[in-house]
Amino acid sequence: MVSNPRVTTVLLVSVLLGCNGSKPQAKSEPQPATNAKDPSGPPGSVTGTVLANGVARAGVEVCARQQGADHTLTHERAEPTCTATDDAGGFTLALAPGVWSLVASAVDHQSDSHELEVRAGISSAAVDMWLQPGGRTFSGLVVDLDGKPIVGVSVSAQHFDGVTNDIVARTESDEVGHFQLTAHPHVLLNFSAPGFTGVVRDGDEYVLMPESVITGQVVGADGRGVAGVRVVTSFGDTATTDASGHYRLGQLAAGEYRLVAVSDEQIGSVNQQAVGFAETLADVTITLDTPVHRLRARVVERNGEPVTECRLAVKADLRDMNPPEFLWIDEKGMIDAPAMGTQYDIQGLHCAGLRGMPPYETIRLGDANTEVPTITVDRGGVVRGRILDANGQPRRGVSVMQRTVEIRPSPGPRFVNVNDIRESDADGRFELSGLEPGVHELRVRGWPRIGPAPMFTITGRETTEIETTLPATGRIEVKTSAACAGQQVQVFDCEVGHFGPGGGPWSVDVETDEHGRAILEPVAVGRHRVGIGETASCRAATGLEVTVEPDRTASVELECQVVEAPQVVVRVLNSDGTPAARALVYLGQTETAAPSRAQWAGYEALAISDGEGRLTIPMPHDDPDDDDDDGPWGVFAVRPGEFAGGLIKVGASELTLRLEPTAQTGDPG
């Protein structure tokens, strides 16, 4: 199942929210063209040019996604603001103040990204974005549960590389629901459209699920509706009340949600609210009844000058198991944000060129007369470097960052300096600043890590010079049969690379697509062992040997042994006994003899029933060493307004489910 999870919240809401069970999938709501969420000033202007192979490229989609705004958390996300380059490759975007990530993407090219800060009413410096040929092209048809094409669906590729999870490419489905985009092979596709939530892959089709909705009103102690209040679910879905205090939370998956309403002075909440598949839960009233405190602090450098353009990570005493939240510091060096906890610990720092000076005292909240604490930070060390390709030529657009190996002296295990990622310029140069004293490792994102990474030591505020030569690379194209779709292909470089002393050989792996094919790139030049699953080994000399040449593609054909797992045939019927086509079928473990609607909410969708109401699913694996994995398993079929549930046990070969109106299946909660 391809999903688009989103978490949007504010500091005080994060303290309160909680929910049992699996997380339903939720989508972000579209924003206006300027994403004008910050009323503190007019939008700023961002201009730039997109080049492909050094030539200005028209028609390239450039999207901006906000990373945070004043007094909001950095993980807040909204639908991106997008435009297309003109005939000269130029683009202009009007964006609200804050930090934004720009992404330029085009078919048959790997995308380029750039992070920048936008200030109110100020035009930012022009941004040049470069597209490189290559990458993997993803395509398909986006349809609804009835099989009808959906136009204008936002399709984005999200890159998970252990460093960031940025959006690296984006497009929209056309008038027949078709989409096509090119990105790095290792990405997750996200789909978002008003009225839909979650997606199920069905061959070449991506089936979007209809949304569930919660509506209601936020009222004060006098029972009157309150306008402009933010309502947040336990999974970060948000809405704002209108003039009469009414709200609508859409693009929800079926499940249980806790709701919190937030104003400047008060908050209110309601316990778990259950909403069914493609249903609307109406008239949920939230009363504002709890006062809100404010978290205030002043951030300065060692010389007393206020710090701006900076983010501070804090953590409430009520949320030890949750990650810290990053708050923005305003132009006066102040943090002033609503909060519900009574005290907060400073957990980390994200300030260009600055580093934290822990230990810091706990910030304790009180009344307006409480003294505002001062947090002092210091200038850190700097590393300047140059990235060269295998031929000794400068390499532009390479993302680099540092990883701290050893901090001297250690500020404690819980404090972190958030590392910036920088891209090399046209001369291959980059600069990383704000580094703590200690030993650091230079990481080059998107390239093989062959041999030990460059190491450098920072003792104070000095500047360290470093030069890195990228290895020569090519790529490997693997071909198998369609029966091998979804198998893991692994490449081992047995000659050169190791992950440090005593480590194993350098390797890269990727999953085969629906046609049983895979592209592995970049791959170091030289001899490699390629295999499916665990069939490749340098030590045992197993797997197929292949030689990779610089900037060339080595094609190999592999065979895989497909182990046929036991199958269960599921028949889905309408209430009158006729076949139920295009019903959504879920699988989940249950301890009861009669699965309820509450149990299936949030489970992974397996498939869509065909025109005869049939589908085949693999029998769940019974692990004899796992007492919690011995079944029975619940199988659930849903369509808007209809539900069916049944049980399968180990050894079963078929199951029939009959859909009934949800009003006859009992309370979903």
Q: Cβ(655)–Cβ(570) under 8 Å?
A: yes
pLDDT in the model for residue 414: 52
Both tokens assigned to 483 = 């029966």
Partnered with residue 310 across adjacent β-strands are 351
| Average per-residue pLDDT for the chain | 77
Q: Is residue 72's pLDDT more than 50?
A: no
- At residue 284, the pLDDT reads 96
Give all domains of the chain, ordered by start, each with its CATH number: 11-208 (2.60.40.1120), 212-291 (2.60.40.1120), 293-379 (2.60.40.1120), 383-469 (2.60.40.10), 473-557 (2.60.40.10), 567-664 (2.60.40.1120)
Please determine, for residue 669, whether its predicted confidence score (pLDDT) is greater than 50.
Answer: no
CB 382 within 8 A of CB 460: no
655 vs 607: CA distance, rounded Å: 15
Give pLDDT tens digits for 607-641. Answer: 899 999 999 887 765 554 555 555 677 888 889 98
Q: Which helix (H) or strand (E) holds 263?
A: none
Greater confidence (533 vs 322) lies with 533
In which band, very low, low, confident or very high, does the pLDDT at 224 lie, cut at 50, 70 and 90?
A: very high
Better-predicted residue by pLDDT, 118 or 619: 118
pLDDT greater than 90 at residue 281:
yes
Residue 416: what pLDDT?
64
d(C-alpha 13, C-alpha 8), whole Å: 10
Q: Is the peptide bond before 595 cis (omega within 30 degrees of 0)?
A: no
Q: Tokens 């050894």 — which residue?
A: 651
Looking at residue 10, what is its pLDDT? 34
339 — pLDDT class (breaks 50, 70, 90): confident
Tell which wins on pLDDT, 669 or 559: 559
Report the relative pairing of strands 416-417 and 343-351 from DSSP bridges.
Answer: parallel
Query: pTM, whole model, 2 decimals?
Result: 0.72
Sole residue written with tokens 């859909």: 659
Note the pLDDT of residue 142.
96
**Number of neighbours of residue 134 by Cβ within 10 angstroms:** 16
Max mean pLDDT among 28-37, 159-168, 321-330, 629-638 falls in 629-638
Which residues 6+ apart lie within 8 Å of 122 measured at CB? 44, 45
For 405-415, what is each residue's pLDDT tens digit?
A: 877 665 554 56
Task: Tell me the CA distances in angstroms from 645 to 463, 601, 634, 658, one per residue in order.
Answer: 65, 12, 7, 8
At 223, the pLDDT band (50, 70, 90 cuts) reads: very high
Task: Supply the pLDDT for residue 316.
Answer: 74
Q: Span 533-557, mean pLDDT?
A: 81
Categorize the per-residue pLDDT at 243 as very low, low, confident or very high, splitting at 50, 70 and 90.
very high
Contact 58, 89 (CB under 8 A): yes
75: pLDDT confidence band, cut at 50, 70 and 90?
Answer: very low
Greatest CA separation found in the chain? 79
Q: What is the pLDDT of residue 103?
A: 87
- 147: Cβ–Cβ under 8 A, 6 or more apart, which residues? 205, 582
pLDDT tens-digit map of 455-477: 888 888 889 999 888 888 888 89
Above 90 in pLDDT, residue 74?
no
> What confidence score (pLDDT) does residue 18 get?
36
What is the average pLDDT across 32-53?
Answer: 58
Q: What is the pLDDT of residue 286?
A: 96
CA distance 121 to 202: 47
Say which DSSP state 12 is in: H
The confidence score (pLDDT) of residue 634 equals 80
DSSP letter at 579 equals: B
Give the whole-number percent of the chain exceeding pLDDT 90: 21
**Range list of β-strands (E), 525-575:** 526-532, 544-548, 553-557, 567-573
Q: What 3 state SS string does 434-491 have?
A: EECCEEEEEEECCCCCCCCCCEEEECCCCEEEEEEECCCEEEEEEECCHHHCCCEEEE
Half-sphere exposure of 564 (CA within 13 A, CB side): 4
**CA–CA separation, 178 and 436 (whole Å):** 49
Residue 643: name the closest of 312, 320, 248, 274 by CA: 274
The alpha-carbon radius of gyration of the chain (Å, integer) is 27
Which tokens belong to 351? 């300030």
The least confident of 220-234, 358-372, 516-530 is 358-372
What token pair was written down for 189? 């596709």
Q: Which of 187, 179, 135, 180 is nearest to 157 (CA)?
A: 187
Which one has a higher pLDDT value, 378 or 587?
Answer: 378
Q: How high is the pLDDT of residue 211?
A: 93
Contacts with 580 (C-beta within 8 Å, 6 or more apart), sequence order: 572, 573, 574, 609, 613, 637, 639, 642, 659
| Residue 318, token pair as written in the block | 């009520």
Angle CA(324)–CA(326)–CA(329) in degrees, nearest 5? 145
Integer CA distances (angstroms), 277 to 26, 212, 256, in order: 13, 6, 11
Q: Phi, psi at residue 604, to the nearest 5°?
A: -70, 130
Tell me, what's the pLDDT at 36? 30
Tell me what pLDDT residue 31 has. 28
* Residues facing 443 on adjacent strands: 401
Tell me what pLDDT residue 6 has: 28
